[in-house]
Amino acid sequence: MKFMIPAIAFLAVSSLLFTGCAASARQNGTYIEEQGYSYRYIAFITDDAVQKISTVLPPAKTQIRLSSPAELDPRDYFGKSLMEGLRQHGFSATTGTPDEDSSFLPLTYALSNLDKNPGKFHVVINIGSMQFTRLYSANAGKIVPASVWSVRR
């Protein structure tokens, strides 16, 4: 009984944190600090994300649509790169509005700095009911994964 209250408190805090992470990709966009930023980072993160998505979802059979096509800003390099990468890997990826009875899975994403640190990146990609998340670390012009992929189904 003595350990039950801390365990319940831990579970409550953990669920709030995971809920915050899940909600972070509701607004599509690239939210990263300009300082220390490189387009090579986006290319690396995009390639890594598309590779992971391809291992979980069958490219030739999966249709994906950007949830809010009006939000794909021309300056949103990650969004543009992600959509192009998905298409190049065989996914049917569109920013248009599909028919009501279509089988397109909605896509939302966010790329942001972790704790406003320009060298730490967090990506969240939601496709249908699946969520892909990963952390990255950049230092001296190189970027590497800082965590394993987390895939929630």
Q: How confident is the model at residue 98 (pLDDT cuts 50, 70, 90)?
A: low
Q: Quick one: CA torsion of 90, 37, 119, 114, rounded to 10 degrees?
A: -70
Q: Per residue in 66-76, pLDDT tens?
A: 877 655 777 78
Question: What confidence score (pLDDT) does residue 35 get?
Answer: 61
Q: What is the reported pLDDT for 48?
A: 98
Predicted confidence (pLDDT) per residue in 14-50, tens digit: 333 443 444 444 468 888 876 656 789 999 999 999 9
Give the pLDDT confidence score for residue 9 in this predicted structure: 39
Longest dimension (CA), the chain: 56
What is the pTM (predicted TM-score) of this model? Answer: 0.79
- pLDDT tens digits, residue range 79-92? 999 999 999 999 99
Query: Residue 98 phi/psi, 5° resolution?
Result: -75, 170
CA distance 38 to 3: 47
Inter-helix orientation angle 77-88/39-56, to 10°: 40
| Tokens (6 digits) for 62 | 């999966």
Distance (Å, whole) CA 77 – CA 43: 9
pLDDT tens digits, 54-66:
999 999 999 999 8
79/41 Cα distance (integer angstroms) = 13
Least confident residue range of 8-17, 106-115, 144-153: 8-17
Q: Among candidates 127, 144, 137, 141, which has minimal Cα distance to 50?
A: 127
